[in-house]
């Protein structure tokens, strides 16, 4: 994920060079490494090391996030009057478990997932957030978001405290929330690309392009092709109606190498998010004709999550996503950022370096990707209770 910030810093540098160039090559070298995480690590380590445990401050933040309410006076005093740090820690951790057992935790999870998915507030749009919230409340596996074939369209009451099991309607494949009718409707677009972007950014925590080769290829454009798929693995005008191999401006294939191998899987959902037996999304061509498989891929290609990670259908996509370590880590990073009050990991580039959450990621995997356990681990982590 650090690559994303590096990319943007390269951007800033590349813009700055022509604007600030002087003929004196010896005047500009005093800022190497700034901002990208390199350099002056001691300064930041010292600040991190100077933090102290403050279980009352942590309790207030945890209460607001896990219950949506302030702690009561008794809850505050219980920690305040605990005789030592160990007792304060015990009182705090007991209260966190209490908070996560309350009905209000369901509501808070619902709000978190509505924000994460960018959808909700109608029965149709709440099914996916409600399913994700249910996984957290019931301490089920995060991977069910991609693999559940039943019970993945629960309903939630108006108070957002009671989730009721329900199967999804319709005849389409079932794979957690990535086949959710509301999501397919919310993110409808030409070629189903917006649905792919939603899946990519929500569950992999990164914008396209995401498959980057260490050995760029000259494809005749102003810049090289940087993808890992063969350049010819997506359609150009010889097989489709849109030239995804175009290099006249940007190299479209840098992103579309991945997009085009995923998007056909989502193309059978129509504008209402209803699954159809054939492709039901339009193209931006004149008169908006429906997309065809050959618009995305040459006949020799098959759909896939990533290069050499084929996915013949959406259940296959969910299965391969569930096995992707980046997807698993993304789930932890999103919970981490929520707990620590960060803005979005993708939209605002609030990245979480792997080293920061490696303990939580390892425990998450070892513990069957249980959501409630993960949330408890994050809210009791040293980084959460130190200020």
Partner 1 sequence: MKSAIKLTILVASLGLASACTDDSVDGAPPPSGSTSGGEDTTFDHMNDGISPWDLLDRLQKEGPPSFTSHMHSCSKVRYMTLGRVLTSLGVTQIGAANAPALSAADLYNNGDNAMGAPNYANRIRENIGISTSGASREFDIFAAAAPQIIAAIPTLDRCKTGGATGAPASLFNAQGQCEASGITCLIGVPAEAAHLELCNITVTSASTPAVGQRLAVAALLAAAYTCE
Among the listed ranges 21-29, 84-92, 210-218, 311-319, the one in contact with partner 1 (CB under 8 A) is 210-218
Q: Give me the count of residues in the chain.
A: 387
Choose, by CB under 8 A, the member of 148, 156, 163, 226 that binds partner 1.
Answer: 226
Q: What is the DSSP letter of 253?
A: H
How many residues bind partner 1 (CB under 8 A)? The answer is 99
The answer to whether residues 354 and 364 touch, using CB atoms and an 8 Å cutoff, is: no
Between the CA atoms of 304, 309, 310 and 314, what dihedral angle is there, to the nearest 10 degrees? -60
Which of 110, 104, 57 lies closest to 79, judged by CA? 57
User: CB of residue 311 vs partner 1: minimum separation in angstroms?
Assistant: 23
Choose, by CB under 8 A, the member of 89, 102, 207, 276 that binds partner 1.
Answer: 207
Residue span 117-146 as binding mask against partner 1, x where in contact by CB under 8 A, dash where not: -xxxx---x---------------------
- At residue 110, the 3 state secondary structure works out as helix
User: CB of residue 164 vs partner 1: minimum separation in angstroms?
Assistant: 21
Q: What is the DSSP letter of 68?
A: S
Which of 168, 201, 155, 166 lies closest to 275, judged by CA? 168
Query: Looking only at residues 257 through 276 of this chain, which bind partner 1 when binding is defined by CB under 8 A?
Result: none
Q: Does 289 bind partner 1 (CB under 8 A)?
A: no
Query: Looking only at residues 13 through 72 of this chain, which bind partner 1 when binding is defined by CB under 8 A?
Result: 14-15, 34-38, 41, 44, 47-48, 56-57, 59-61, 63-65, 68-72
The answer to whether residues 296 and 240 touch, using CB atoms and an 8 Å cutoff, is: yes
Query: Looking only at residues 139 through 198 of this chain, which bind partner 1 when binding is defined by CB under 8 A?
Result: 186-187, 190-191, 193, 197
Q: Does 103 bind partner 1 (CB under 8 A)?
A: no
Among the listed ranges 21-29, 172-180, 247-255, 268-276, the one in contact with partner 1 (CB under 8 A) is 247-255
Choose, by CB under 8 A, the member of 208, 219, 313, 373 that binds partner 1.
Answer: 208
210: Cα separation from own chain's centroid: 13
Q: Does 10 bind partner 1 (CB under 8 A)?
A: yes
Whichever of 123 and 312 has its CB closer to partner 1, that residue is 123
The answer to whether residues 271 and 181 touch, using CB atoms and an 8 Å cutoff, is: no
Q: Does 356 bind partner 1 (CB under 8 A)?
A: yes
Please calculate the CA angle 120-121-125 and round it to the nearest 5 degrees.
40
- At residue 306, the 3 state secondary structure works out as strand
């Amino acid at each position: 994920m650090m690559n994303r910030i590096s990319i943007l810093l390269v951007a800033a540098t590349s813009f700055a060079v022509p604007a600030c160039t002087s003929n004196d090559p010896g005047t500009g070298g005093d800022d190497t490494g700034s901002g990208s995480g390199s350099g002056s690590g001691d300064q930041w380590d010292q600040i991190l090391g100077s933090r102290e445990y403050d279980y009352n401050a942590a309790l207030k933040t945890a209460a607001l996030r896990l219950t949506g309410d302030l702690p009561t006076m008794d809850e505050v005093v219980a920690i305040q009057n605990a005789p030592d740090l160990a007792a304060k820690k015990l009182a705090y951790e007991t209260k966190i478990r209490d908070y996560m057992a309350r009905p209000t935790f369901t509501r808070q999870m619902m709000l978190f997932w509505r924000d994460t998915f960018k959808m909700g507030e109608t029965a149709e749009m709440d099914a996916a957030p409600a399913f994700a919230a249910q996984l957290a409340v019931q301490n089920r596996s995060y991977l069910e978001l991609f693999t559940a074939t039943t019970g993945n369209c629960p309903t939630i009451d108006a108070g957002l405290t009671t989730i009721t099991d329900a199967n999804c309607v319709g005849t389409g494949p079932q794979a957690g929330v990535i086949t959710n009718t509301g999501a397919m409707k919310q993110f409808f677009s030409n070629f189903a690309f917006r649905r792919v972007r939603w899946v990519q950014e929500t569950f992999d925590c990164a914008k396209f392009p995401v498959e980057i080769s260490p050995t760029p290829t000259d494809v005749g454009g102003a810049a090289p092709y940087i993808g890992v798929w063969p350049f010819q693995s997506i359609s150009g005008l010889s097989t489709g109606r849109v030239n995804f191999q175009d290099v006249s401006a940007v190299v479209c294939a840098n992103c579309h190498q991945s997009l085009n191998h995923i998007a056909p899987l989502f193309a059978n959902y129509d504008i209402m998010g209803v699954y159809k037996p054939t492709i039901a999304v339009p193209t931006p061509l004149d008169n908006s004709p429906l997309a065809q498989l050959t618009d995305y891929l040459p006949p020799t290609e098959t759909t896939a999550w990533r290069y050499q990670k084929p996915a013949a259908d959406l259940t296959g996509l969910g299965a391969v996503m569930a096995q992707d370590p980046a997807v698993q880590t993304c789930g932890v990073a999103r919970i981490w950022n929520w707990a620590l009050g960060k803005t979005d990991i993708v939209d605002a580039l609030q990245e979480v370096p792997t080293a920061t959450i490696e303990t939580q990621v390892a425990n998450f995997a070892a513990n069957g990707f249980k959501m409630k356990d993960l949330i408890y681990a994050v809210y009791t982590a040293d980084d959460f209770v130190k200020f």
